[in-house]
Structure 1
């Protein structure tokens, strides 16, 4: 079983059936990404799911720091930034998932 967000390459001599099974086992779903966005968007779960690790870590860090700084009111600026980012991500999720799935297909062609 592959790790979260990993994209293992094909096995040499893989048949078309095996390649299709590999794709089906590793592809991502837009529906699952939206569920993660809705419930865990503040923690960038949808970005981690789509394989966007760097931006996911940045979003998570800004979110956590902003929540910690709400006690002195400056954290609300960071939360507003994350809220805007989440709104934009609502439109970007299908493309992120399509890109991830195309990466799997490309790795099968090697």
Structure 2
């Protein structure tokens, strides 16, 4: 199994830190634009954002809206983990210097 050099690992961690989503921004979007599911669009979940908007018509969406207040930290963590995984996979595909 190929391993990444320390320099590449540091580069990946720097990129993850720069490209990760902010929980504070996600909460602000949830608070101010939650009825438009802006926080879910911001966190890269357009499918569930649209589903949430459509579910407002049957009142389930309002419960989902409240539950999202507790789910935002895990959604931010999942986004960070996906970024890291994608970057590691691309770095492993590159030839060593």
Q: Aligned residues, how many?
A: 84
CA deviation string 1:37-68 (max 9, x = no partner): 000110011111111121012223444xx3xx
Instruction: Tell me which residue corresponds to 2:37.
Output: 44
Instruction: Tell me which residue corresponds to 1:104.
Output: 83
With 29-38 and 49-58 compared, the bigger mean Cα shift is at 49-58
Instruction: State the shift of 1:17 in Å.
Output: 4.4
Higher helix share: 2
Q: Which has the higher contact order (CA 8 A, sep 6+)?
A: 2
Gaps of 5+ in 2: 90-97
Instruction: State the shift of 1:95 in Å.
Output: 0.6
Instruction: Tell me which residue corresponds to 2:68.
Output: 89
Aligned Cα root-mean-square deviation (Å):
2.0
Gaps of 5+ in 1: 1-12, 67-77
Q: TM-score, normalised by structure 1?
A: 0.66
Structure 1: how far apart are the matches of 2:69 and 2:51? Answer: 18
Moved segments of 4+, more than 6 Å: none
CA contact (8 A) 2:53 2:61 kept: no
Alignment of 1:1-110 (within 5 A): 15-63=8-56, 66=57, 78=58, 80-110=59-89
